[in-house]
Amino acid sequence: MAASKCSALMTFFLCISLISPALVQSAFQFKHHSNEELATILEEVHFRCPNITKVYALSENSVAGNPLLLIEFSGEPGYHELLEPEFKYIANMHGNEVLGRELLLKMADYLCEQYIAGNESIRSLIHSTRIHLMPSMNPDGWEMASAVGGDNYLVGRTNNNSVDLNRDFPDLDRLLYAEEDERSIRNNHLMDQIRHLDHPPQPETLAVMRMILEQPFVASANLHGGDLVANYPFDESRDKDGSDESPSPDDDTFRHLALSYASMHPRMSDPNQPSCDDTSSSGFGKQGGITNGAAWYSVEGGMQDFNYLSSNDFEITLELGCEKYPKAERLAQEWEDNKDALINLIWQSHIGVKGEVKDAITGRPLGNAVITTRNVTRLNETHARKDLVKHDVTSAQGGDYWRLLTPGEYEITASVRNYLPLTKRVLVTNPRHQQAFIMNFELHSATNQGQRTWEWDDDVPLDYVVEDLGEDFDKNVDEIPFNREGNWPQDMEEFDLGLKDNVGDYNHLKYKWFPSPNRR
């Protein structure tokens, strides 16, 4: 297996090293590019923009041995820069849904072209964001679909083992719903609870899982075809036998992400846009071009929800049109229809707040700090919200964190085991296409100060942990008095949420869940 993978990668990099200067300068063609042409385009972009790009392959090849290629855009390609959010697009997960594949190839060309041309907005985006583009997660399926002319609605959907990759991820939704029923305190990074999976993931799935768990992605989207809508979590219904709306704790933020794409697309949010399935006279446009995934239909083992529940990544799903395999002559117009929306969604990785969590004395960065959020937006002059967002994010190894939020007032708490937690208030405004507000935390050690720190193995009911904010808070009311002077009870600063050991740190347990699947 190792030899076959090495051979495939060596062949790929040997081929791209032989690209002629004439090809490097060739104009992008709107067509359906083969897997070999896909690799060539990525390398052509890299040769044109070597200082801001890097082409790389994931840890596994496809079942048929095709490398799973990405191109990265960044001011320091190959490295995570402190406080710089990471964003990814993944397309062609279903091999016969090909528009996203061609859009990402053109996007790579466009980002490089505009950077060279001096487009200040694009240059700012690249230097403030680490962008990963994966044109094809299922190159084998693409080959099968293309071999029959792209006219079959099902051929090529699965990988070369006949597995639907968007049903192949660990079903963390069901684990979360069980935790909710048991009123557990765990609400994020659920893979750390997994000891065994019920099936070995396909190599394409495994490779993407590893990428998700290794990189500190903040936001992302996977690109599909077959309808025209921006879909947001949860994809899996809480009712196993139905398709009821299943909002996530970050429903406001996910709706914003979906709308940020749909509203920039000329047809997706058009209320007069007809339905793709011929069962109704109108499509999703009447609801702004967005939908909760489970309200549409329930998906178990999908990539979108896996991102949100296994990492800090807020992912949505983009259905780009009724035609899964549009004719080549349609591609140029599809690019024009989607270009601004694709760029705008990347900018959304900068909404909310970001910052560093450090030791107040030594300045040492504190990775795996738990960032807890409470919405305290004022409702009127005398009352404010008190909504705990029951989904925490964690800081990266360098101590930097990102918390995507919609406009409003929030209490943000940073907590690390054996440190005193610290809560700060922030007003989020999200100015368009600007970096997030920076809010740093310097935490003091609690070791010698007699402070109680929660042991996460303790059987502590969720209500007690998240509501233990002093007598000024009443669990049974929806609104709490707001102090006109802008102050909250002092015991808010002393609330200790604690931190489960090694939350978000997967280096010590890499891929303990399963062996690497065999490849043909």
Per residue in 238-254, pLDDT (tens digit) is: 887 777 899 999 999 99
Report the alpha-carbon distance of residue 308 to residue 293 in Å, rounded. 14
105: phi then psi, degrees, rounded to nearest 5: -65, -45
Report the alpha-carbon distance of residue 193 to residue 226 in Å, rounded. 35
pLDDT at 198: 84
Confidence of residue 283 (pLDDT cuts 50, 70, 90): confident
CA 49 to chain centre: 26
Among 314, 488, 470, residue whose Cα is nearest residue 384:
488
pLDDT in tens, 387-405: 999 999 999 999 999 999 9
pLDDT at 367: 96
**Distance between the two ends of the chain, CA-based, in angstroms?**
8
- Residue 322: pLDDT over 50: yes
pLDDT at 280: 59
Which amino acid, one-letter code, is at 193? Q
Q: By mean pLDDT, which of 15-24, 131-140, 228-237, 352-361 is the weakest? A: 15-24
Alpha helices in 200-352 (DSSP H): 203-214, 251-262, 293-296, 303-310, 331-347
- Residue 237: pLDDT over 90: yes
Mean pLDDT over 62-84 rounds to: 97
Mean pLDDT of the chain: 84
Query: Active-site residue 319, yes or no?
Result: yes
Among 173, 264, 282, residue whose Cα is nearest residue 227:
282
User: pLDDT higher for 515 or 225?
Assistant: 225
Q: Using an 8 Å Cβ cutoff, are 115 and 49 in contact?
A: yes
Report the alpha-carbon distance of residue 133 to residue 19 in Å, rounded. 21
- Residue 193: pLDDT over 90: no
This prediction's pTM: 0.84
- Residue identified by tokens 């967005």 is 290
Report the alpha-carbon distance of residue 168 to residue 161 in Å, rounded. 12
Helix and strand numbers (H, E) in the chain are: 13, 18
User: Which of the following is catalytic: 315, 319, 334, 356?
Assistant: 319
